[in-house]
Amino acid sequence: MYKKGHYGAALTAYAPVGMGALAVGFEVAAVGGAILSVGLAMVPDWDQKLPNVPHRGPTHTVRFAIGVAAVAGLLGGALGLTVTSQWFLVAGTGVYMALVGGLTIGSHIAADALTPMGVTPFGDNRHYSYDLWNADSTVGNYVLLGLGILSTAIALVIGAELNALLSPYL
């Protein structure tokens, strides 16, 4: 898939997480997570700029997603330390960013599995391709982008409504 498709896939994967953050009153985390998700959406395709790294090779694996999640989590913990010294908020920020990072890379891999080229997400011989549309498909990329925008909008509405219901108890 191309940028638009990967942005949509990332937003679709992130929408339930953002909705949960909104529901419990973490608006800044919800917006920050969406920005992080879109910002990381194309990271696996950096392999095209690296010598001797095959496209859809190591950067399109579950192992890579876990690595990105770990780095995002560490950066999230460091970010949390700049705001507070309360350990549960620092840890929560790290876990939240790790979740967003891992989901985003996972969404990239899943979107690429929709193409004939497919992916080998476990780094072995198991190849996955749903052959739904080519990576350069205008329709496919815009369908994913539209799905991401729609799911994000729905998550925003539901998250805000849940927050209104839950706020007396939080």
pTM: 0.94
Q: CA 54, CA 130: separation in Å to the nearest integer?
A: 21
- List, in sequence order, the alpha helices (H) in the chain: 3-23, 27-40, 62-83, 87-112, 138-166
Q: Per-domain residue ranges for the chain?
A: 3-169
Check if the beta carbon of residue 145 is closer than 8 Å to that of residue 139. no
| pLDDT tens, residue order, the chain (170 aa) | 999 999 999 999 999 999 999 999 999 999 999 999 999 999 999 999 999 999 999 999 999 999 999 999 999 999 988 888 888 889 999 999 999 999 999 999 999 999 999 999 998 989 999 999 999 999 999 999 999 999 999 999 999 999 999 999 88
